[in-house]
């Protein structure tokens, strides 16, 4: 049985079969070999899907998966210094949960209005995730300090 894992804890599972859930960040097609850049919210890892190691439907799914599609992958963790992050997953199964259609945010530059209209997707980018993580840490530190000083949180009504 595969262990449920996250990218941030993958180093604990070297040589073991794991199950990951997340999104496809990028894909490189090398014929019978697919390299998938897979993200789960805690980090990014390379997934290698070799045609002879997976069922035919899993390989076909890996060939047609689009950027930011929700996916599940099962495979063996191995250390590889060539892989981004030093680890990769040798896939034994790959499944698309939801295929993404026409992902609007591409590597090209976009205006702020466009990005704000697509904020739910923009916050998936590494820079935006980092900014939100810093904001959350600062807000938590302020809240902790205020609580330790005896302050009370008051939620005022919204005035429009």
Residue % of the chain over a pLDDT of 90 = 54
Q: What is the pLDDT of residues 23-48, one digit of tens each?
A: 998 888 898 999 999 998 888 999 99
SS3 content of the chain, % helix, strand, coil (to 5): 35, 30, 35
pLDDT of residue 106: 63
Residues 6+ apart with CB under 8 A from 45: 7, 10, 20, 37, 38, 83, 84, 85, 87, 88, 89
pLDDT of residue 10: 93
Phi, psi of 15 (to 5 degrees): 85, -5
Mean pLDDT across the chain? 88
Structure-model confidence comparison of residues 31 and 73, the more confident one: 73
Cα 92 from Cα 39, distance rounded (Å) = 18
Q: Where are the domains of the chain?
A: 3-98, 112-148
Residue % of the chain over a pLDDT of 70 = 94
Read off the pLDDT of each residue in 7-16 and give the average, rounded to a whole number.
Answer: 92
pLDDT of residue 145: 97
pLDDT of residue 92: 94
We find that the CATH architecture of domain 3-98 is: Beta Barrel (2.40)
Residue 142 has pLDDT above 70, yes or no: yes
Residue 95 has pLDDT above 90, yes or no: yes
Confidence of residue 119 (pLDDT cuts 50, 70, 90): confident
Residue 76's nearest CA partner among 154, 157, 3 is 3
Cα 54 from Cα 27, distance rounded (Å) = 17
Cα 128 from Cα 31, distance rounded (Å) = 34
pLDDT of residue 26: 87
């Amino acid at each position: 049985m595969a262990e449920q894992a996250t990218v941030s804890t993958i180093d604990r599972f070297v040589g073991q079969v794991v199950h990951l859930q997340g999104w496809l960040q990028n894909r490189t097609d090398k014929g019978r070999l697919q390299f998938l850049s897979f993200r789960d919210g805690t980090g990014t890892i390379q997934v290698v899907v070799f045609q002879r190691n997976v069922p035919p439907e899993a390989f076909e799914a890996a060939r047609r998966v689009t950027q930011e599609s929700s996916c599940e992958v099962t495979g063996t963790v191995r250390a590889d210094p060539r892989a981004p992050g030093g680890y990769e997953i040798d896939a034994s199964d790959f499944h698309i949960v939801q295929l993404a259609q026409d992902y609007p945010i591409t590597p090209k530059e976009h205006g702020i209005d466009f990005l704000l209209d697509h904020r739910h997707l923009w916050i998936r980018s590494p820079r935006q995730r980092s900014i939100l993580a810093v904001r959350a840490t600062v807000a938590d530190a302020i809240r902790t300090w205020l609580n330790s000083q005896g302050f009370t949180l008051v939620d005022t009504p919204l005035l429009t």
